[in-house]
Amino acid sequence: MFDLGFDLGFIIVAVVIIASILSAAIKILREYERAVVFTLGRYTGTAGPGLIILIPFIQQMVRVDTRTFAEDVPSQDVISQDNVSVKVNAVIYYRIVTPEFAIIRVEDFRMATSQLAQTTLRSVLGKHDLDEMLSERDKLNADIQQILDEQTEAWGIKVSNVEIKHVDLDTSMIRAIARQAEAERERRAKVISAEGEQQAAQKLSEAAKILASEEGSMQLRYLGTLTELGNEGSSTIVFPMPIDLLSQMVPKPDGSKS
């Protein structure tokens, strides 16, 4: 007779072995996953998504996620070209376009990309003034993205976007920038006021020339001014006397009036 306990144990071991073999041979990859397949340690192809079958103990695979990664770049101490110390942090967006390169050519593509982003951020921003860091972020983002994309291409990585999030200044520098902004606003106000006075002077000069060129125009202007004063309802009325009327009342050296 067969030993029931021995038969049951044998069956369990066999089931475990078969399940292990099937688990090693059959893999299911999601739509955003790819499998980098190695046969006896050598790269033999990239498979997926869907169902793939491997030769157990002969072939192994490494899963690679092809979705976009958002990598936060830690705050970096940067000295600008005009010798201002700031802290800058950013975020980079990238994805793997060649899975076998990301596995074979670099040990840890996420760590390598993060370290490269930190050094590139310091290098690029150190070539610009503080004003450019604050006002030209789009241009700086594009420059950093281009450099990162070129250097990570060998790893099968495509850097799609870089965004500088914060440029942090110390308190004294913030006060200095506020004073500079206030001085700039005062300068613009004075320029606008001076331009307004210049335009007004030009118009007054043109009006004076027109009044002087037309005979009787000054008298009409004088009468118009009297009408305006009469409509104000004031108990005291000051009558302006045109210069040309006074000149007619002043006697000439020969005793006659002009």
- Which residue segments constitute the domains of the chain, with CATH numbers given? 19-65 (no CATH), 68-169 (3.30.479.30)
pTM of the predicted structure, to 2 decimals? 0.64
CA proximity to 28, closest of 6, 48, 2, 51: 51
Say which residue, 60 or 240, is predicted with more confidence: 60
What pLDDT is stored for residue 236 in this prediction?
62
Measured distance CA(104)–CA(65) in Å, rounded: 15
CA angle 140, 144, 146 (to 5 degrees): 115
Q: Which of 39-53, 179-193, 231-245 shows the lowest per-residue confidence on average (mean pLDDT)?
A: 231-245
Quick one: 36 exposed, middle or buried, by C-beta within 10 A (0-12, 13-18, 19+)? buried
Model confidence at 98: pLDDT above 70: yes
| Helix or strand holding residue 199 (H, E) | helix 171-213
Give the model's pLDDT for residue 191: 85
How high is the pLDDT of residue 1?
Answer: 46
The Cβ of residue 145 has, within 10 Å, a number of other Cβ atoms equal to 19
Structure tokens at 243: 């210069």
The pLDDT tens digits for 231-245 are 666 556 565 555 555
Name which of 36, 28, 26, 94 is nearest 64 in CA terms.
36
- Residue 249 pLDDT level (bands cut at 50, 70, 90): low
